[in-house]
Amino acid sequence: MTKAQPASAATMKKPRRLKKILTWGAAAMVMILLGGSLYVYNWLKAPLPRTQGTISLQGLDGEVTVRRDRHGVPHIKAESEQDLYVAQGYITAQDRLFQMELSRRVASGRLSEMAGPATLDRDRFFRTLGLRRAAKDSWQSYSLEARGVMEAYTRGVNAYIRSARQAGTLPVEFTLMGFEPERWTPVDSLTIGKYMAYDLGGRWKGQAFRHQLLQSFPEEQARELFPADPADGSDRIEFNRKHSLDLKALLAEAPVPHSFNGSNNWVLAGDKTETGFPLLANDPHLSIAAPAIWYQSVLQAPGLRVSGVTFAGVPGIVVGHNEQIAWGVTNVGPDVQDLYLEKRNPDNPDQFRFEDRWEEAHVRKETIPVKDGKPVTLTVRTTRHGPIVSEFALPEDQQDGETALSMRWTALEPSTELEAILRFNRAQNWEDFKEALSYFHTPAQNFVFASRDGTIAYRANGRIPIRKKGDALLPAPGWKQAYEWNEYIPWEELPTIVNPEEGVIATANNRVVGDDYPYHLTHTWADPYRIERIKAVLSEERPFTADMARLQTDTKNLRAAWMVPAIVDQLQKGYWSPVEQEALDQLAEWNFHDDAELAAPLVYHLMVHEMNQILYEPIDETVLDWFEHMEQTTDRLLRDALAGEPGVWVEQAGGVDTWLERAFRRAVKRAVDRQGDQPSRWQWGAFHQVHFSHPLSNIKPLDRLFNREPLPVGGSKMTVLAADWDKESGQVDHGASWRTVVDLSDLSQARHIVAPGQSGQVMSRWYSDQARAWAAGEMHLTRLNIKDDEPVKTLTLVPSHP
């Protein structure tokens, strides 16, 4: 054996040097990473607003105190209303400036300036529709007092923009997108209001759907999917079959309002409650995202003390309570949008026929700036009915078709909703509130009301047209006088209820009038299951308390209660694999509650989705997005088929047995693919989850910055706990954007939840602090006056004179 030689000193030093180098290199890398992380952390935290101390603010006449409670809700107290709204604008911008900027750009058709060509079609559509033009036209209809409020609010917003620019502390989204906000204007606030009217008033899509059905299928098959027969009978159907437009192509890029925009609200008289005073509850159903659509505030000035929520960018309190009254809203959803087929002059693309003459359209050129691209010119033609909406996505040289589609819509006319809101805030009784409603035009809303004097009331309020002929089921001939709007339903004759004998008023976007009501509202009301469940609970013979959150988060699915026994009875005839049989057993044993921890809701909802997919498979996907009463239609077709009278669509799907069998097998396969082959371990909430997605979260990896962890939730679009979901991912994207319960025995406080939180600033403690509480069905108290022992942040705003 060779004897080992001792290592030389030089040889021994090399590993030591290498180790030393690696150690120093690792330490340097750690320092670099820590330094980089610290820089990013500080960069993200820099935009957080000041919530304590004193800030000098131009536009104020006196001192304003802003106290934020533990949930970040600002309690703004001023010595004048002008100072109050300056401060409201400033504080709202502190928390929600990027959201405000995005909202006004979406509604104004100006997204492409910041986002590039990807949003160009959306911009072209909203430029064509003209929400901003309608907002400008509305400005002169407001009182001097209301205009003063908007101007004060605007001064506050611009004061924050100016200070954040100077300090380099604009929200991080502006840096990431590479642009800065422009000055705010009162028209921006009004434009956001017009956009909410669009989001809640998408009746055009149902008319487009039925028109396209008549082009694509035999009349009998198409009419089977109509909610009713047209009031003018076969004439309107024959007209639409003869005068066709390929709306599938022309409107494919039109932004379609979510079919589930709605709400729950109810009010109980004092003799139904434990305290002897009314109770009011409201939970508007809109997009679920970060930040929330609603912004909660408490406003106080001489003669005014009001609490509730508003839209970021809109002054005042849209829904809430003051010291004497409370009010809540749901969407009525009447037919206030009509599509007209217009006949164009072949010799002049700017003229359209009306009776025996050619009328000049109003023609306007719009220039749309595009980030990293050339500006785009858009020609907008407006007929006597409204803008031509079928050509917004076409090149200029193709906007000359013989037939075009225009839209008439109440919200494109001047309206004064903010005037009404400011009057709500000061109303002291039902007469005050009802008078304020005369200024609220669009979108039509179901208002419920309660006051300290014991009054409870309801009103379906808004401008709703009376048509000379027809009922808005299908596009009308734009060249015939007979199809014009005659007038609006007289304000005095809008549906109204005051102090009903039963002591309960509730709405859930359901049918609110009987067959004896003399005016047409719509044929496409929401499914009846939410309102049936609400009324069933509120009819119980017991004194009700302010703990109405239990009903707001109720998961009983009355649609499943009738559908599942019938489906199980049909499926019991089949032969199933062990997994399929166990899944069927889960359905058979279900209590019909869409609870997050149960397996049966997963099987049921996936199956219903597959039933729709199979039944309506022949319909193009774009057109299917316009099907505004799909669930009710499926219910009707299934009931008829189970009664032995299958229609064309069920027969085309292979008959009721084949249809249900295929849907069930596909649903079970989807569940197995996602959650394994043991149905007893499946959970609805493992699929049905809320993400509170930020607008920039589609840009990876920004989702890791802006989105919080998904949370399992129960409910569905058929339950009082409203939680609609993306049918592929399971992500909950619509539901109760805000919940409140108001006990009229003590209007110094009310229960609220705004999810995921008050702030739109990603590093704020209030960015997502209410998310888990929302998912759990919890609420917090907001007081009109914060108690001295509550933890608060106090900011004082003082006048600054240049």
| pLDDT tens by residue, 130-172 | 999 999 999 999 999 999 999 999 999 999 999 999 999 999 9
Better-scored residue on pLDDT, 17 or 174 = 174
- Residue 469, SS3? coil
Statement: residue 11 has pLDDT above 70: no
Q: Is residue 6 part of a domain?
A: no
3-state per-residue secondary structure call for 167-204? HCCCCHHHHHHCCCCCCCCHHHHHHHHHHHHHHCCCCH
Say if 17 falls within a structural domain: no
Q: Which domain holds residue 580?
A: 558-592+599-682
H runs (alpha helix) in 539-599:
549-552, 558-571, 578-588
Look at residue 519 and tell me whether its pLDDT is greater than 60: yes
The C-alpha atoms of residue 619 and residue 613 are separated, in whole angstroms, by: 10
The answer to which of 531-540, 626-635, 790-799 has the lowest mean pLDDT is 790-799
Give the residue-averaged pLDDT of 782-792.
82
In this predicted structure, what is the pLDDT of residue 202?
73
Cα angle 37, 43, 48 (rounded to 5 degrees) comes to 130
Q: Which pLDDT belongs to residue 158?
A: 98
Q: Does any domain span residue 432? A: no
Q: What CATH number is given to the structural domain containing 138?
A: 1.10.439.10
622 lies in some domain: yes
Percent of the chain with pLDDT over 90: 87
Q: Exposed, middle or buried: residue 145 (CB in 10 Å: 0-12, 13-18, 19+)?
A: exposed
Q: Does residue 309 lie within any of the structural domains? A: no
Q: Decide: 443 and 411 in contact? Cβ < 8 Å.
A: yes
Q: Is 361 exposed, middle or buried (0-12, 13-18, 19+ CB in 10 A)?
A: buried
Task: Judge whether 488 and 466 are in contact, CB under 8 Å.
Answer: yes
Helix (H) or strand (E) holding 637: helix 630-642
Which has the higher per-residue pLDDT, 712 or 29? Answer: 712
Of the pLDDT bands very low, low, confident and very high (cuts 50, 70, 90), residue 233 is confident
- Separation between Cα atoms, residue 509 and residue 496, nearest integer Å: 15
More confident call, 218 vs 789: 218
Residue 392 has pLDDT above 80, yes or no: yes
pLDDT in tens, 407-424: 999 999 999 999 999 999
- What pLDDT sits at residue 5? 47
Does residue 85 lie within any of the structural domains?
A: yes
Domain boundary among 633, 656, 682: 682
- Determine if the peptide bond prior to 186 is cis (ω within 30°): no
Per-residue pLDDT at 33: 47
Q: What is the pLDDT of residue 38?
A: 60
Residue 182 in any domain: the answer is yes
Query: What are 644-670's pLDDT values in tens digits?
Result: 999 999 999 999 999 999 999 999 999
Would you state the pLDDT for residue 547? 86
Tens digit of each residue's pLDDT (9 = 90 or more) over 39-90: 677 778 888 999 999 999 989 999 999 999 999 999 999 999 999 999 999 9
Rounded to a whole number of angstroms, the CA Rg of the chain reads 29
pLDDT tens by residue, 97-136: 999 999 999 999 999 999 999 999 999 999 999 999 999 9
Check if the beta carbon of residue 131 is closer than 8 Å to that of residue 198.
yes
Mean pLDDT of 325-343: 97
Enter the pTM of the model.
0.94
pLDDT 10s digits, 185-201: 999 999 999 999 998 88
In a domain, 756, yes or no: no
Q: How confident is the model at residue 792 (pLDDT cuts 50, 70, 90)?
A: confident
Last residue of a domain, one of 622, 655, 682: 682
Residue range 577-607, pLDDT digits in tens? 999 999 999 999 999 999 999 999 999 999 9
Task: Report which residue type is found at 779.
Answer: M
Q: How many CA atoms lie less than 13 Å away from 681 in the CB half-sphere?
A: 7
Average pLDDT, the chain: 93
Q: How confident is the model at residue 21 (pLDDT cuts 50, 70, 90)?
A: low
| C-alpha triplet 116, 119, 120: angle, nearest 5° | 85
Single out the residue in 654, 682, 710 at which a domain terminates.
682
CB neighbours of 308 closer than 8 A, spacing ≥ 6?
A: 296, 297, 317, 318, 319, 320, 321, 740
Number of domains in the chain: 2
User: Is it the case that residue 381 has pLDDT exceeding 60?
Assistant: yes
Evaluate if residue 14 carries a pLDDT over 90.
Answer: no
Instruction: For residue 18, name the pLDDT band (cuts at 50, 70, 90).
Output: low
